[in-house]
């Protein structure tokens, strides 16, 4: 799983357009749940469901609270799953690696070329 960082709204929108299977981690520095989610994401990255997926990290202190509000985010951490630039699912709060894998499977399906 490739990891990118968006430091501006333009970079965020460019990543949505460029990556057909995108998992976005909205987080902030002073957030214990965000640190716990980071550990889950590291474990999830080793799972088959992470193949072909791009993780985009979006830090509130960098892009701004107004940007988070405009997206309808009410808490951090929040994960959003995007398929072909459209949001297919959203998970608020801490998620275990298995929960992330299940949501990716349900919302994004298998990466191209891996279906049996």
pLDDT at 33: 94
Cis bond leading into 75, ω under 30°? no
pLDDT at 110: 66
Query: Is 114 inside any structural domain?
Result: no
Query: Is 74 inside any structural domain?
Result: yes
CATH number of 48's domain: 3.40.30.10
How many structural domains are present in the chain? Answer: 1
Give the range of the structural domain holding residue 92, as residue numbers without chain letter.
2-108
Does the pLDDT of residue 115 top 50, yes or no? no
Query: Is 70 inside any structural domain?
Result: yes
Query: Is 113 inside any structural domain?
Result: no
Token output for 65:
């609270």
The H or E element spanning position 114 is none
Q: Please write the tens of the pLDDT for every residue from 22-81.
A: 999 999 999 999 999 999 999 999 999 899 999 999 999 999 999 999 999 999 999 999
The b/e string for 36-65 (b: 16+ C-beta within 10 A; e otherwise) is ebeebbeebbeeebbebbbbbbbbbeebee
Query: Is 16 inside any structural domain?
Result: yes
Query: Is 52 inside any structural domain?
Result: yes
Query: Is 116 inside any structural domain?
Result: no
Give the torsion sign (CA, 59, 106, 47, 22): negative
């Amino acid at each position: 799983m490739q990891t990118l960082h968006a430091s501006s709204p333009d970079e965020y929108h460019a990543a949505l357009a460029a990556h057909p299977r995108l998992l976005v981690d909205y987080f902030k520095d002073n957030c214990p749940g965000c640190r716990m989610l980071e550990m889950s994401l590291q474990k999830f990255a080793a799972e088959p469901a992470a193949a072909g997926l791009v993780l985009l990290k979006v830090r509130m202190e960098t892009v701004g609270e107004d940007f988070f509000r405009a997206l309808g985010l009410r808490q951090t951490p929040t994960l959003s799953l995007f398929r072909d630039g459209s949001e297919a699912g959203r998970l608020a709060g801490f998620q275990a690696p298995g929960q992330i894998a299940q949501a990716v499977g349900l919302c994004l399906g298998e990466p191209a070329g891996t279906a049996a």
